[in-house]
Amino acid sequence: MKKLTAIITAALLLTMSACSGTSTQNPDNPKTSDSSVSREPAPTDENGDVVIRIATDDTQYLPPELETAMEAFNEMDNGYHVEPVIYSQAMMGTNDGGGLQTADMRLLMDVMQGENVDIVMDRSFFDQSNYDILSQKGAFVDLYTFLDGDLGISRSELNAHVLEIHENDGKLYQMPLSYKIETMVGDEKNVGTKENWTLDEMIAHWEQMPDGTFFCNNTNQWMVYNAIISGNLGAFVDYKTGTCSFDSTEFINLLDFCNQFAETKYKVDLDNNSVYFLEYCPLDGFDSFHLYNQGGKRKPSIGSNYTFVGYPTESGNGSFIDTLWKRYSICATAHPAVQEGAWKFISYMLNADVQIENCISYDNESYQENPHLDEDGFPINQIAFERIAEGMIAHAGESRVLGFGDIEMDVGYLTQEEYERLLRLIDSLQRMDSPIDKAANTIIENEVDALFAGERTAEEVAKSIQGRMEIMISERS
């Protein structure tokens, strides 16, 4: 299977370098191509609408924001029709030669050959690294050419910093609809006020904690590993260069730190009086950020100030943007007219009103009645971002009682001070999460298991992970 994936990717690169005249040859200008593409009309349906095909798994698993957008966009009578193309991860198929293929392999081939698909999501692939690798290899359109044009939404309407994090050599091959923030937090009285730690800073603070303190959810090897390494494995993989750095001093030191804890894989009982050093902190939106400013979601306590320390890294930039399952791309091999329609559809999903509906599950009226929000990220659209924040800040100082297990607390609403702190946090982020597939994660955890069992040293484990991951990345890149 891995060899076939490698062959497909290699063929993709050859196709893109050899097939002169296709829209792939000029991704900087997706709206122009030579006659090898333009002599064929754009595909249309029975109503004469240009068909835009988007790769997805079974339709029952369509992302809610995509399903709603497709229905609304198709009802506009704008000359386009968006429809899903199913690449079911639950089924295997065969190619023309009778060879067994996964959905990922079929999708890779279709992207390469310019058939069957025009828009690809990162979640279109079972192994999301395939999407990231294609993004680096010229398989998708540079969306800045549309953002800087007169068709659809413009660059100035979106968060430029978040877009920049998604760039590859100054080009934008993937568009995030929204984003979350991944970080670690600790109580200021335990961790101080400095944000974004190095490993040495984390160790220094940990050594000052009293006996019986839980590191995060627990204090044993695997729980500490899950807390400070597992969620940040993407920091050691670079799909842009096709390299990894698991044999680095930084990774070895992290392994050594985890290895000093108890060996059991099982949790011990926790209670509400336990002292926690750090807490995993996924920031899903404004209310999530506000609650962590009130002392954390697990055990909020008014007056307890939290510091966003991030994952411990040598660079001290351990917090990062998470846009997994929220990224969309337009295939460079798609017909120019289809590319324009695809951009109009993505622009619709980037509209401020649509983004507000997608990022939070309430409208203005229901928000007043049910203020415990169900959020799905921060919108990339700046107008939507500001509207949501303004709507919450308008209630700052008012009472809002929420239940946390058997505890009820008046947590209030986002304040202007918190909002400004959030903006500083977003501006400080320097990278996005790189997906680590199940196969890669299994390789890493099997090697780490040998470390925790006392069978190998951290250096030996890191070297072994590096070698195995290099092979896997090279096969896919």
- Whether the pLDDT of residue 64 is over 80: the answer is yes
Q: Is 206 helix (H, G, I), strand (E, B) or coil?
A: helix
Torsion of CA 109, 115, 119, 125, to 10 degrees: -20
CA separation for the pair 283, 298 (Å, rounded): 13
By the 10 Å C-beta count (0-12 exposed, 13-18 middle, 19+ buried), 314 is classed as: middle
Which 8-state DSSP code applies to residue 41?
Answer: P
For 222-263, how does the pLDDT look when each residue is reduced to its tens digit (9 = 90+)?
999 999 999 999 999 988 888 999 999 999 999 999 999 988
Which 8-state DSSP code applies to residue 140?
Answer: B
For 419-460, how does the pLDDT look when each residue is reduced to its tens digit (9 = 90+)?
999 999 999 999 998 889 888 999 999 999 999 999 999 999
- Whether the pLDDT of residue 18 is over 60: the answer is no
CA nearest to 173, candidates 35, 14, 16, 38: 16
- Whether the pLDDT of residue 318 is over 70: the answer is yes
CA nearest to 291, candidates 402, 215, 421: 402
For 137-175, how does the pLDDT look when each residue is reduced to its tens digit (9 = 90+)?
889 999 999 999 999 999 999 999 999 999 999 999 999
The CA–CA distances, whole Å, from 258 to 244, 263, 269, 436 equal 21, 10, 20, 20
Phi, psi of 319 (to 5 degrees): -85, 150
Helix segments in 312-457, DSSP class H: 336-350, 352-359, 364-369, 382-393, 416-428, 438-452
When pLDDT is cut at 50, 70 and 90, the band that residue 476 belongs to is: confident
CA separation for the pair 226, 244 (Å, rounded): 19
For 365-390, how does the pLDDT look when each residue is reduced to its tens digit (9 = 90+)?
544 444 456 789 999 999 999 999 99
CA nearest to 155, candidates 323, 369, 380, 1: 380
pTM over 0.85: yes
Are 185 and 296 a contacting pair, CB within 8 Å?
yes
- Whether the pLDDT of residue 304 is over 80: the answer is no
